[in-house]
Amino acid sequence: MVMRVGVGSMNEVKIEAVKMCFEKFFGVVEVAPISVDVPPQPIGFEETIRGAVIRAWEALRKADADLGVGIEAGLMRVLHSITGYADQHVCAIIDSEERVTLGFSMTLEFPVIVVERILGGRAREAEEVMEEISGIREIGRKGGAVGYLTRDRVRRIDLCAQAIVSALIPRLNPELYNVEWPKAHEILGEKP
User: What's the confidence (pLDDT) of residue 190?
Assistant: 79
Helical packing angle, 126-134 and 112-119, nearest 10°:
140
* pLDDT (average), residues 50-79: 97
Count how many domains the chain has.
Answer: 1
In this model, does residue 192 exceed pLDDT 70? Answer: no
Q: pLDDT, tens digit, for every residue of 102-119?
A: 999 999 999 999 999 999
Domain that includes residue 33, residue range? 3-108+160-188
In sequence order, what are the beta bridge partners of 100? 94
Assigned domain for 100 exists: yes
Report the C-alpha gap between 70 and 52 in whole angstroms: 4
Q: pLDDT, tens digit, for every residue of 46-62?
A: 999 999 999 999 999 99
Assigned domain for 147 exists: no
For residue 48, what is the domain's CATH number?
Answer: 3.90.950.10
In this model, does residue 88 exceed pLDDT 80? Answer: yes
In sequence order, what are the beta bridge partners of 108? 87
Assigned domain for 18 exists: yes
Find the farthest-apart pair of alpha carbons in the chain and give their distance in angstroms, rounded: 50
**Cβ count near 182 (within 10 Å):** 16
Residue 131: which pLDDT band, with cuts at 50, 70 and 90? very high
Assigned domain for 95 exists: yes
Assigned domain for 122 exists: no
Assigned domain for 88 exists: yes
